[in-house]
Amino acid sequence: MKFFDDIAIGERFELGRHTFSADAIKAFARSFDPQTFHLDEAAAARSHFGALCASGWHTASVWMRLMVDYQRREDAALRARGEPVATLGPSPGFRELKWLKPVYVGDTISYATEVLETRTSNSRPEWGIMTIRNTGVNQKGEPVISFVSVAFVERRKGGGPA
């Protein structure tokens, strides 16, 4: 993670993409969302979704995975350039999560994050607070998920950009 001081409002991060297989959709559903339209092709065809599709919690959890992988690549790149790496604090939660379209078998979702707002913490001046909008868009360009989250990001010692 880069430091809070180096993050600009409007900045956009492409986190990566993920293709949802029938096996992965069913495995998630068996554990966490065993509704028939996430488990069985024939039942899903008869449902309002029309075909097997991923649990919304699966679509959201894949965002988390790609975010972790993205940060690791970023941290490795910073270290390779001999630059310090900032700590990302725990997330207090998020808001306005919308499942906009179903995610069907074979859909490839591209996840991205955009910085909406940044502010420093009054109570903890070593941290900045970043509000981000996270989105997933399918291969047709249709948004399938959107949510807004808040994250604590470490500030440079002494503050100010590098």
CB of 96 to a copy of itself, least distance (A): 5
Q: Is 19 in the site for a copy of itself (CB under 8 A)?
A: no
CB of 110 to a copy of itself, least distance (A): 18
Closest CA to 51 of 106, 11, 89, 7: 106
13 or 57: whose CB is closer to a copy of itself?
Answer: 57
Is the separation of the CB atoms in 4 and 86 below 8 Å? yes
65 or 119: whose CB is closer to a copy of itself?
Answer: 65
Helix or strand (DSSP H, E) at 13: strand 12-19
Q: Which of 56, 118, 143, 156 binds a copy of itself (CB under 8 A)?
A: 56
CB of 109 to a copy of itself, least distance (A): 14
Residue 140 burial by CB count (10 A; 0-12/13-18/19+): exposed, middle or buried? Answer: exposed
CB of 161 to a copy of itself, least distance (A): 26
Q: Is 95 in the site for a copy of itself (CB under 8 A)?
A: yes
Alpha-carbon gap, residue 20 to 109, rounded angstroms: 8
CB of 67 to a copy of itself, least distance (A): 9
The sign of the torsion formed by the CA atoms of 138, 144, 150, 152 equals: negative
Q: Is 57 in the site for a copy of itself (CB under 8 A)?
A: yes
What number of CA atoms fall less than 13 Å from residue 6's CA on the CB side?
A: 12
Tokens coding 124: 């903890």
Q: Can you give the binding site for a copy of itself, defined by CB under 8 A?
A: 31-35, 48-49, 55-57, 60-62, 64-65, 68, 89-99, 147
